[in-house]
Amino acid sequence: MLNSGNLVVASNDSATLWQSFDEPTDTILPTQILSQGSRLVARFSETNYSSGRFEFILQTDGNLVLYTTNFPLDSPNTAYWSTKTVGSGFQVIYNLSGYISLTARNGSVLNTTVASNAASTSQFYQRAILEY
Protein backbone atom coordinates (compact mmCIF):
# COMPACT_ATOMS: atom_id res chain seq x y z
CA MET A 1 0.00 0.00 0.00
CA LEU A 2 1.46 3.31 -1.08
CA ASN A 3 1.03 6.57 0.87
CA SER A 4 -1.45 7.63 -1.83
CA GLY A 5 -3.81 4.79 -0.86
CA ASN A 6 -3.02 2.87 -4.04
CA LEU A 7 -2.68 -0.85 -3.38
CA VAL A 8 0.01 -2.15 -5.74
CA VAL A 9 1.04 -5.71 -6.55
CA ALA A 10 4.60 -5.63 -7.87
CA SER A 11 7.00 -8.14 -9.37
CA ASN A 12 10.43 -8.95 -7.91
CA ASP A 13 11.94 -6.16 -10.04
CA SER A 14 9.31 -3.66 -8.71
CA ALA A 15 7.31 -3.50 -11.94
CA THR A 16 3.62 -2.87 -11.26
CA LEU A 17 1.55 -5.95 -12.08
CA TRP A 18 -1.76 -4.62 -10.74
CA GLN A 19 -2.92 -1.52 -8.86
CA SER A 20 -6.18 -0.55 -7.22
CA PHE A 21 -6.14 2.88 -8.89
CA ASP A 22 -6.87 1.07 -12.18
CA GLU A 23 -10.06 -0.47 -10.70
CA PRO A 24 -12.09 2.44 -9.25
CA THR A 25 -15.25 1.71 -7.27
CA ASP A 26 -17.28 4.55 -5.72
CA THR A 27 -14.22 6.49 -4.54
CA ILE A 28 -11.38 8.48 -6.07
CA LEU A 29 -8.28 9.42 -4.07
CA PRO A 30 -5.76 12.25 -4.52
CA THR A 31 -3.26 11.49 -7.33
CA GLN A 32 -5.70 8.98 -8.87
CA ILE A 33 -6.43 9.40 -12.57
CA LEU A 34 -9.55 8.19 -14.39
CA SER A 35 -8.88 7.48 -18.06
CA GLN A 36 -11.45 7.37 -20.85
CA GLY A 37 -13.85 4.49 -20.22
CA SER A 38 -13.35 4.64 -16.43
CA ARG A 39 -16.30 5.00 -14.12
CA LEU A 40 -17.25 5.44 -10.50
CA VAL A 41 -20.40 3.57 -9.46
CA ALA A 42 -22.27 4.53 -6.30
CA ARG A 43 -23.07 1.71 -3.92
CA PHE A 44 -26.70 0.73 -3.34
CA SER A 45 -26.81 1.79 0.33
CA GLU A 46 -24.55 2.39 3.31
CA THR A 47 -24.20 -1.35 3.94
CA ASN A 48 -24.90 -2.78 0.46
CA TYR A 49 -21.93 -2.41 -1.90
CA SER A 50 -23.69 -3.64 -5.04
CA SER A 51 -24.22 -1.09 -7.83
CA GLY A 52 -26.37 1.86 -6.85
CA ARG A 53 -28.28 4.65 -8.55
CA PHE A 54 -25.45 6.80 -9.92
CA GLU A 55 -22.58 6.37 -12.39
CA PHE A 56 -19.87 8.97 -13.01
CA ILE A 57 -18.24 8.07 -16.33
CA LEU A 58 -15.47 9.53 -18.46
CA GLN A 59 -16.85 8.18 -21.70
CA THR A 60 -14.56 7.04 -24.50
CA ASP A 61 -15.73 10.09 -26.50
CA GLY A 62 -14.24 12.41 -23.84
CA ASN A 63 -17.51 13.54 -22.26
CA LEU A 64 -17.61 13.36 -18.44
CA VAL A 65 -21.16 12.39 -17.45
CA LEU A 66 -23.17 11.68 -14.29
CA TYR A 67 -25.98 9.21 -14.97
CA THR A 68 -28.78 7.90 -12.83
CA THR A 69 -29.46 4.19 -13.39
CA ASN A 70 -32.62 2.15 -13.80
CA PHE A 71 -33.41 -0.58 -11.29
CA PRO A 72 -33.22 -3.51 -11.21
CA LEU A 73 -31.16 -3.16 -14.40
CA ASP A 74 -27.78 -1.46 -14.66
CA SER A 75 -28.74 0.52 -17.76
CA PRO A 76 -28.21 4.27 -17.43
CA ASN A 77 -30.96 6.86 -17.87
CA THR A 78 -30.30 10.06 -19.75
CA ALA A 79 -27.44 12.16 -18.44
CA TYR A 80 -28.16 14.04 -15.20
CA TRP A 81 -25.05 16.22 -15.67
CA SER A 82 -22.36 16.49 -18.34
CA THR A 83 -19.28 18.56 -19.14
CA LYS A 84 -20.25 18.59 -22.83
CA THR A 85 -16.65 17.85 -23.79
CA VAL A 86 -17.24 15.27 -26.53
CA GLY A 87 -14.02 14.89 -28.48
CA SER A 88 -11.79 16.71 -26.00
CA GLY A 89 -11.90 15.11 -22.51
CA PHE A 90 -8.96 12.79 -21.85
CA GLN A 91 -8.44 12.24 -18.10
CA VAL A 92 -10.02 13.10 -14.76
CA ILE A 93 -7.30 13.98 -12.25
CA TYR A 94 -7.72 14.40 -8.49
CA ASN A 95 -4.64 16.46 -7.66
CA LEU A 96 -2.77 17.05 -4.41
CA SER A 97 -4.37 20.49 -4.00
CA GLY A 98 -7.80 18.86 -3.64
CA TYR A 99 -9.13 19.81 -7.09
CA ILE A 100 -10.76 17.34 -9.47
CA SER A 101 -10.13 18.35 -13.07
CA LEU A 102 -11.04 17.10 -16.51
CA THR A 103 -8.06 17.56 -18.80
CA ALA A 104 -7.49 17.41 -22.55
CA ARG A 105 -4.84 15.20 -24.13
CA ASN A 106 -2.44 18.19 -24.23
CA GLY A 107 -2.84 18.68 -20.44
CA SER A 108 -5.01 21.80 -20.56
CA VAL A 109 -7.80 21.92 -17.97
CA LEU A 110 -11.30 21.75 -19.48
CA ASN A 111 -13.35 21.67 -16.27
CA THR A 112 -12.54 21.83 -12.56
CA THR A 113 -14.67 20.79 -9.62
CA VAL A 114 -13.78 22.66 -6.45
CA ALA A 115 -15.10 21.91 -2.99
CA SER A 116 -16.00 25.03 -1.03
CA ASN A 117 -13.45 24.01 1.58
CA ALA A 118 -10.74 22.54 -0.67
CA ALA A 119 -7.48 22.08 1.19
CA SER A 120 -4.13 20.59 0.36
CA THR A 121 -4.08 16.83 0.67
CA SER A 122 -0.81 17.14 2.58
CA GLN A 123 -2.76 18.61 5.52
CA PHE A 124 -5.74 16.22 5.56
CA TYR A 125 -6.72 12.76 4.37
CA GLN A 126 -9.16 13.24 1.52
CA ARG A 127 -11.30 11.22 -0.84
CA ALA A 128 -14.21 11.93 -3.16
CA ILE A 129 -17.12 9.48 -3.00
CA LEU A 130 -20.06 9.00 -5.32
CA GLU A 131 -22.75 8.61 -2.63
CA TYR A 132 -25.72 6.27 -2.84
Give the 3-state secondary structure of 50-62: CEEEEEEEECCCC
Within-domain flag for 9: no
Within-domain flag for 58: yes
Q: Residue 30: is it exposed, middle or buried by C-beta count within 10 angstroms (0-12/13-18/19+)?
A: buried
Within-domain flag for 66: yes
Within-domain flag for 3: no
104-131 pLDDT, tens digit each? 999 999 998 866 666 666 667 788 999 9
- Quote the number of domains for the chain: 1
Q: What is the mean pLDDT of the chain?
A: 90
Tell which wins on pLDDT, 30 or 121: 30
Tell which wins on pLDDT, 69 or 87: 87
Specify whether the CB–CB gap between 54 and 69 falls below 8 A.
yes
What's the pLDDT at 101? 95
CATH number at residue 98: 2.90.10.10
What's the pLDDT at 71? 72
Cα separation, 2 vs 97, in Å, equals 18
51-78 pLDDT, tens digit each? 899 999 999 999 999 999 887 666 768 8
94-104 pLDDT, tens digit each? 988 888 999 99
Asked if omega into 24 is within 30° of 0 (cis), the reply is: no
Q: Could you tell me the pTM of the whole model?
A: 0.84
Q: By residue range, what is the domain housing residue 52?
A: 25-129
Region 37-42 average pLDDT: 95
Within-domain flag for 100: yes
Cα separation, 15 vs 64, in Å, equals 31
3-state secondary structure of 69: strand
Within-domain flag for 68: yes
Torsion angle, alpha carbons of 46, 113, 87, 108, to 10? -140
